[in-house]
Amino acid sequence: SGADALGNSARKRKIGSIQSINTEWGFVVVALSDTSGLKPGDTVFAGDTNDQGSILTLSRIQNNQASAKTGDLSDLRVGQMIYK
């Protein structure tokens, strides 16, 4: 039915986009358009569609920006959408 046990839609919500990528330190900065319910340690996904893409972990959230880490930065690019 496309919903989980709690009745939530399987569709992810867009929360922002990649603002910059720091390859030296291995993290990305996400410009957040939706901060509701986000906390450090949350898993988010980078991709061009609502399909699961690269997995990132939010490490710091401040105002409308967050830093996030991932094991592989090579598939990421500035402007890519971030989903929760």
The pTM of this model reads 0.81
Whether residue 82 contacts residue 18, with contact meaning beta carbons closer than 8 Å, is answered with yes
Helix then strand count (H, E) for the chain reads 0, 6
Question: Higher model confidence: residue 25 or residue 6?
Answer: 25
* Distance, CA of 79 to chain centre: 12
Average pLDDT, rounded, for the chain: 86
Nearest to 14 by CA among 59, 36, 58, 41: 36
Encode pLDDT of 39-78 as tens digits. Answer: 999 999 998 765 667 899 999 999 999 999 998 898 899 9
- Using the structure block, give the residue that is written with the tokens 């409308």: 64
Query: What pLDDT score was predicted for residue 49?
Result: 65
